[in-house]
Amino acid sequence: GQQLNQSPQSMFIQEGEDVSMNCTSSSIFNTWLWYKQEPGEGPVLLIALYKAGELTSNGRLTAQFGITRKDSFLNISASIPSDVGIYFCAGLSNTGNQFYFGTGTSLTVIP
Amino acid sequence: GAGVSQSPRYKVAKRGQDVALRCDPISGHVSLFWYQQALGQGPEFLTYFQNEAQLDKSGLPSDRFFAERPEGSVSTLKIQRTQQEDSAVYLCASCTTGEQYFGPGTRLTVT
């Protein structure tokens, strides 16, 4: 199946730093979702985006739906140790019945 | 309220055995998805239900995989004659208005 290109693959940052990651696709999506997954758990929904150009925040997290509808960005400000995990983007196909996932960004926060 | 639940959380099967994985979606969610997640990868789509109707099963890797949702709520993913390559985490998600929520997954190990 299709997987979205997500970068960077991994990040090692100091506590307090800001983080940026992005997701790109060759296809247009109408919905972008961002998830965080911790070991042994299912992905947890962080932010949902429904409109090109939309910028949405959830606490220290901010995500944007790219104007081209082929990309999305997630920023985490002032990182803390509990931000550690793997972050996945997901795009909803135009048929509305398939979500395609990115390859994931593994985040490590060094106290 | 209650989220998506899955059982069992862990399953060890000998090669050739049949397994059945259960998903209880969020009450009232019409859409239900099954995914397979290999280690270090993002979830990959297996199949999609809208109520009791299986609208897309294009992601099922072989005819040994079978999913059902007979009453439009609980769903079961069955894998017949398990093979080692079936070892993975199987995630279930239910969806409303574009927001998809995951269960904790079932980790299947085929020995």
The pLDDT assigned to A2 comes to: 65
Query: Tens digits of per-residue pLDDT, B57-102?
Result: 999 999 999 999 999 999 999 999 999 999 999 999 998 877 889 9
B interface mutation test: which of A37, A49, A92 has the most B CBs within 10 A? A37
Q: Which residue of A has its CA nearest to B56?
A: A97
B interface mutation test: which of A27, A49, A65, A97 has the most B CBs within 10 A? A97
Integer Cα distance of A44 and A46 in angstroms: 6
Confidence of residue B1 (pLDDT cuts 50, 70, 90): low
Indicate the SS3 state at residue A82: helix
Integer Cα distance of A16 and B66 in angstroms: 47
Two structure tokens written together for B37? 């997640």
Nearest to B23 by CA among B99, B93, B97: B93
CB A10 within 8 A of CB A106: yes
Mean per-residue pLDDT of chain A: 93
Query: Tens digits of per-residue pLDDT, A5-20?
Result: 999 999 999 999 999 9
The pLDDT assigned to B81 comes to: 98
Handedness of CA B55, B58, B63, B64 (dihedral sign): negative
Confidence of residue B35 (pLDDT cuts 50, 70, 90): very high
Give A30's contacts (C-beta < 8 A, 6+ positions apart): A50, A69, A92, A94, A96
Which residue has tokens 């593994």? Answer: A106
Handedness of CA B88, B31, A21, A29 (dihedral sign): positive
Confidence of residue B54 (pLDDT cuts 50, 70, 90): very high
The pLDDT assigned to B2 comes to: 81
Range list of β-strands (E), A1-111:
5-7, 10-14, 19-24, 31-37, 44-49, 55-58, 61-65, 71-76, 85-92, 99-101, 105-110
Chain B contacts of A104, Cβ < 8 Å? 40-42
Q: How far is A80 from chain B (nearest CA, A)?
A: 23
Query: Tens digits of per-residue pLDDT, A30-75?
Result: 899 999 999 989 999 999 999 999 999 999 999 999 999 999 999 9
Confidence of residue A1 (pLDDT cuts 50, 70, 90): low
> Which class for B75: exposed (0-12), middle (13-18), buried (19 or more C-beta within 10 A)?
buried
